[in-house]
Amino acid sequence: MRRLHPAPPRAGQPARASGRPATLRPAAAAPPLASILPFPPARLQAAAALAARFTTSWDTWSWRQSPATWLAILRPMAASSLYPALAQAASTPALLAQRTAARQTAAATASAPQIRDLTPGSVTITITIRQVITATSGTSQSTASYAITLTPGGGWSVWDIEPATAGNS
């Protein structure tokens, strides 16, 4: 029976060289990263910029601002399938009453965009938002992370926004 691998040396015997010189094969050149991505880097940067603008607009509002005004800011960035959910969120009565009673205003800034998922049909980017809320009772700050899924077309559209811990369904 022919062995595919040489037998290991017995205890006390030195290992024998095969007698053949080792041949080194050149490593295959890795393709440029941009060539294996489903979108060019500039297009992905545009998606990250839109995700940052959308989440900043999502978390920036004023008690004086009508739901329609908030929606008008988000609408050009959102996919048409997301708009009904945005409209519902904008007109939550309890939330509107709380903001008005406390005269709350929120300003948000985005940072740390990261690609979470990338396919030929979408990109999901996580964004960290720092929100400063000013009210009659004082000022508070909070930080939140969102997962924003964008879909391509003539440009990018926000298809979904979820807390980053929940992911996108």
What 129-136 contacts at long range (C-beta under 8 Å, 24+ apart), as own/partner pairs, is 129/55, 129/56, 129/58, 129/59, 131/59, 131/60, 131/106, 131/107, 132/106, 132/107, 132/108, 133/104, 133/105, 133/106, 134/104, 134/105, 134/106, 134/107, 135/102, 135/103, 135/104, 135/105, 136/102, 136/103
Domain count of the chain? 1
The pLDDT profile of the chain, 169 residues, written as one tens digit per residue, is 444 444 444 544 444 445 555 566 666 666 677 778 889 999 999 999 999 999 999 999 999 999 999 999 999 999 999 999 999 988 887 778 888 888 999 999 999 899 999 999 999 999 999 999 999 999 999 999 999 999 998 899 999 999 999 855 4
| 60 is a domain residue | yes
- At 140, which CATH number? 3.10.450.230
pTM of the model as a whole: 0.77
| 27 is a domain residue | no
